[in-house]
A and B are shown apart, each in its own frame.
Chain A
Amino acid sequence: MESPGIILAFFALSGLTATSALLVLVARNLMHALVFLVVSFLGMAGLFLTLSADFIAVAQILIYAGSISVLMVFAVMLTPLASRNNGSTLYVIPALLAAGGLSNIIGFIAIDTDWDERKGEVLAQSDFTTTVAGIGDLLLGKYILAFEVASVLLLFALLGAIVLVQERRRAGEEA
């Protein structure tokens, strides 16, 4: 494979990611779990960096570690008795099913992919690129439909949030 530095970094980062992901499950305090989750996100960003996908890495930090974590902070704060208990609930069954299904899919793809083909010249020939300009070209060219659909979805999410907040305020005024 490649230089020992990359291998070392891969194992260190994946160890960090996996360990903190495990700790998310184990931690009984939701806030502790949240911190471990952020560490896990950062480890993921590091893994992307070792793959020279710097745009993805930065986006990972910006969106997951920066914004999603704040979203979760608000979610935890708005949940009653949030800090005290991450205990057993019945949701463990659907969660287990979903996690099992997802890991099956990922595992299947990982085993099925012909990794040897995905490096060197083959990689250079494919239109895969890490630079921002390339990603932008693809998003506004080949994948324009997906891009537009995603933006419409986000717009609706924004509108939905506004509608929700307005409704609650009206209910509060009546009460």
Chain B
Amino acid sequence: MPARRRQGTNVNSTVEPYVLNIGPQHPSTHGVFRVRVVMDGEVIRDLDMIVGYLHRSMEKLAEERTYTQNIPFTDRADYLAAMSGNLGLALGIERLAGVEVPERASYLRVIFAELQRIASHAMANGTLVSDAGAWQTPLLYMFREREKILDLFEMTCGARLTTNYMRAGGVSFEPPPEFWPALKELVAELPGRIDEYMELLADNEIFLGRTRGIGVITPEDAINGSLVGPALRGSGVPWDLRKAEPYCVYDRFDFDVPVGIRGDVYDRFMCRMMETRESVRILQQAIAQIPAGPHKNDIPLALRPPVGEVYSRVEGPRGEVGFYLVSDGGPAPYRFHLRAPSLINLSLLRELARGASLPDAVVTLGSIDIVVGEIDR
């Protein structure tokens, strides 16, 4: 920012840019993400986003491992939505290698992906409200549901966060018998919990004042910026891969896609909230419909897909998780690329935050809902 002359004085004074270094260690950057902000009082004039503190060279490492060995990487990319990452990669491998999936496995995938969506949205909305200044209370309440979902994951595959659950050709384990009653209990109590949060936050004057009209993204901007997920739907574009190109068995369920009307932080928040409700609806239907049968087809351990390439995408909690796989006929992918929704959603932050005040920028960043593991890979 160039030095400028202060208006209204005849003193030849220059004003130094007031540079604020937010992160990599900061309460509201949600991980090791750094923003260098040039401020004018409380107003942000310009900002640089600096990423890469969590870079683990995932895509290059993936070229040295077999397809099945690559699935754990997707746990660690978006570590708040491991199931969705698993699902996207598993679908990609299946399409590349032409592997069939049993029907029960598809239903299990839907159940776990939707549970993961609820858990991830709980985390996203909780941290957003924390960013808006509610001293962690909504966050901890939402963690209560997330805990139960993670318990379900642990029951099934032994891990809570890095689940490594989906496989090409199905899922790795059949859920244990105690899983189903616990899941039903959770699904039964979730609508009441969501009502509770709506009661606490949806009409809260302070929360409305902090989020209404802040960080507005128009539909045109959202599409030009390649936004995906709640950030796209919050700005009014009715786009959901589960409806647009249904994968697994999503075409068998009856659910709606909430779409924001103003494209501000509040709309993104409410979209997540209402999507949680829709996920509960999907879960209820999936539990009712799930057929018996095997949970996976046996496939060779070192899968050698034919030469070719595939781009598979699923609707994760943060939006379209895409996997671009190129096979040269060997046991490991020739090229492995992850289209991370967080990174692309984040790219709009600079435009949103310029001219906004610092608290608004923090809330906007919270509403975009980034996961640094996915951005840096």
Contact = CB atoms under 8 A, between A and B. Distances in A.
User: Are chains A and B touching in the complex at the 8 Å CB cutoff?
Assistant: yes
A119 interface: no
A80 B16 CA distance: 9
B7 A168 contact: yes
Contacts of A172: 7
A168 B14 contact: no
Contacts of B11: 80
A84 to B, nearest CB: 13
Interface string B151-194: 00000000000000000000000000000000000000000000
A30 to B, nearest CB: 15
Name which of B7, B8, B11 has the most chain A CB atoms within 10 A of its CB: B7
Nearest to A174: B7
Contacts of A122: none
Name which of B8, B11, B15 has the most chain A CB atoms within 10 A of its CB: B8
Nearest to A81: B13
Interface string B14-55: 110000000000000000000000000000000000000000
Interface residues of A, number: 7
A81 B15 CA distance: 10
Interface in A142-175: 167-168, 171-172, 175
B13 A80 contact: yes
Contacts of A80: 11, 13-15
Given A80-B13, A80-B14, A172-B7, 9 more contacts: A80-B11, A80-B15, A81-B13, A167-B8, A168-B7, A168-B8, A171-B7, A171-B8, A175-B7
Interface of B: 7-8, 11, 13-15
Interface of A: 80-81, 167-168, 171-172, 175
12 contacts: A80-B11, A80-B13, A80-B14, A80-B15, A81-B13, A167-B8, A168-B7, A168-B8, A171-B7, A171-B8, A172-B7, A175-B7
